[in-house]
Amino acid sequence: MATVLVVDHERRIRKWIRDSLGKCGYDVEETADGQTALETASRRHFDLILLDDALPKMDGWQVLTKLKEDSQMQKIPVVVLTSFPSVETEAAGMRLGAAHVLAKPCRTEALETTVRVAIREAERDGAPIPAREVEAEEVDAPSGPKVASAAPEFIKTGGKLAALERALRGGLPTGSLTLVEGVSGAGKSVLCQYLFYGSILDGLGAAYFSNQYTAGSLAKQMQSVGLNVLDHIREDHLCVYPLRERSADDDPDSLLAQLASEIQGLPQEYRFIIVDGITNLAQVSQDRAVMGFFSSCQQQCDEGRTIVLVGRTSAFDQNLLVRLHGMCNAHISLVMETITGRILTTLEVTKVKNFEPNSDNRFSFQVEADVGINIVPVSRIKA
């Protein structure tokens, strides 16, 4: 039976968590303040700590720092509970060594899933999540990303996916607008994560817009395929921004314009930007709105940023896709096909800035759990 320590100043929250996790078979102990929590955790083994960030006297961030500084307690995974979720709060939690940051109140299913995943991750990793040595004030005012003084010529993959670098004739040219399009399940997101990883290794500040990942879950996903970015999140080298979901009352054209404004409003330190993805907005927007969004992104690239836009092929009609292809500096197409009895994704670079496609502009792969992109050699007979 897994043991969980709940540290929250609100009695109703403690009771809700205790009742919810108790029904799932967890042994739950609770306390209302940070000092008692530290004393309790030092006396008894816990598989997880749920920690309120707004505790009286010693707040949750101070408690988290002390936990990660203690050799006996630093291995305990900590999920920070916050009533004011934000990108900055999540980044602060990751810097200090939190496994996850969870908004409260939330659905019981979200609580149970987060607890289960955090414990499983700790068991799998078998190692503490260390905290960066920071002063408590840094939590309230996260520092900006530390970036390279000059942008590299190409964004690569940190040596993790040489086939993509070859297909791009060295890497993704900086200052370029790239469209990555393909069918659902082709591996578009994973592919972009390799480029994201490479940009961070080169010291570029990077921003990732997603309707699927938070900073914590993106770091965990990338770590599972050998792309460790956790330390860079703690040091503000990268940030994950939520993509707003369209509601029935929203004008999709205006949402694309808002997204363009968000990208334009990012701190200048964030030079590499991935938008994963634009499918939900593009497929219900007018062509002129989609082209206006791409045009805005191209202007940002002219000013030195590198932007990758990700979408399903079905989001664009063929005529629009041809026009977007012309607006982009690079275009990567992913197609799923059955080859020698296996379902593979074939990646083809159909366009890359200042280069003509060469014989190495395509390769086939599978995405494997805990491995990532696995290149599959395929013999093709050219017509």
Residue 315 has what DSSP assignment? G
**Range with the lowest mean pLDDT among 28-37, 142-151, 251-260?**
142-151
Q: How many CB atoms lie within 10 A of CB 246?
A: 14
Enumerate the H helices of 265-371 as residue ranges.
Answer: 279-282, 287-302, 318-327
What is the predicted pLDDT for the residue at 17?
Answer: 94
pLDDT at 224 over 90: no
Q: Are residues 163 and 17 located together in one domain of the fold?
A: no
Residue ending a domain, among 140, 174, 198, is: 140
145 pLDDT band, cuts 50/70/90, is very low
- Identify the domain boundary among 140, 171, 206: 140
Token pair 């002129």: residue: 288
List CB contacts of 361: < 8 A, sequence separation 6 or more.
167, 348, 349, 350, 352
| 109 plus 188 within the same structural domain | no
Residue 123: the pLDDT is 74
| Mean pLDDT in residue range 293-321 | 93
DSSP string, 187-211: SHHHHHHHHHHHHHHTT-EEEEEES
| Burial track 247-270 (b if 16+ CB lie within 10 A, e otherwise) | eeeeebbebbbebbeebeebeebb
Please tell me whether residues 115 and 176 are part of one structural domain. no
Regarding predicted confidence, which is higher, 221 or 143? 221
Q: Are residues 177 and 276 in the same domain?
A: yes
- Sheet strands side by side (includes 342-351): 238-242, 205-210, 270-276, 306-312, 177-182, 330-339, 342-351, 362-368, 372-375
pLDDT value of position 80: 93
Mean of pLDDT values over 13-28: 93
Q: Check whether residue 301 and residue 258 sit in a common domain.
A: yes
Could you read off the pLDDT of 234-286 as tens digits, one per residue?
556 678 888 877 666 777 778 888 899 999 988 888 999 999 989 988 888 89
> What CATH number does residue 49 fall under?
3.40.50.2300
Q: Which of 196-200, 251-255, 339-343 has the highest mean pLDDT?
A: 196-200
CA-based nearest residue to 360, from 340, 339, 375, 342: 375
Q: Is the pLDDT of residue 129 over 70?
A: no
**Whether residue 121 is found in the same domain as residue 167:** no
Which CATH number covers residue 187? 3.40.50.300
> Are residues 208 and 275 part of one domain?
yes
Among the candidates 79, 105, 140, a domain finishes at: 140
How does residue 349 score in pLDDT terms, banded at 50, 70 and 90?
A: very high
Cα angle, residue 265 at apex, residues 259 and 268 outer, rounded to 5°: 130
Mean pLDDT of 299-311: 95
Overall average pLDDT of the 307-329 stretch: 92
Longest Cα separation, the chain? 74
Give the total number of structural domains in the chain: 2
How many angstroms separate the CA atoms of 328 and 323, rounded? 9
- Whether a cis peptide bond, with omega within 30° of 0, leads into 277 is yes
Residue 259's domain comprises 154-375
- How many C-beta neighbours within 10 Å does residue 137 have? 8
In a domain, 86, yes or no: yes
How many whole angstroms separate alpha carbon 118 and alpha carbon 109?
A: 14
Residue 283 lies in a domain: yes
Which residue reads 């009286």 in tokens? Answer: 56
Tell me: the pLDDT tens digits for 35-88? 999 999 999 999 999 999 999 889 999 999 999 999 889 989 999 999 887 767
Q: How far apart are CA 21 and CA 28, in angstroms?
A: 7
Same structural domain, 54 and 180? no
Same domain, yes or no: 185 and 39: no
Q: 128 and 164 share a domain?
A: no
Share of the chain above pLDDT 90, in %: 49
CA atoms of 34 and 282, how far apart (whole Å) = 47
Please give the order of strands across the beta sheet that includes 48-52.
27-31, 3-7, 48-52, 78-82, 100-103
The secondary structure of residue 355, as a DSSP letter, is: B
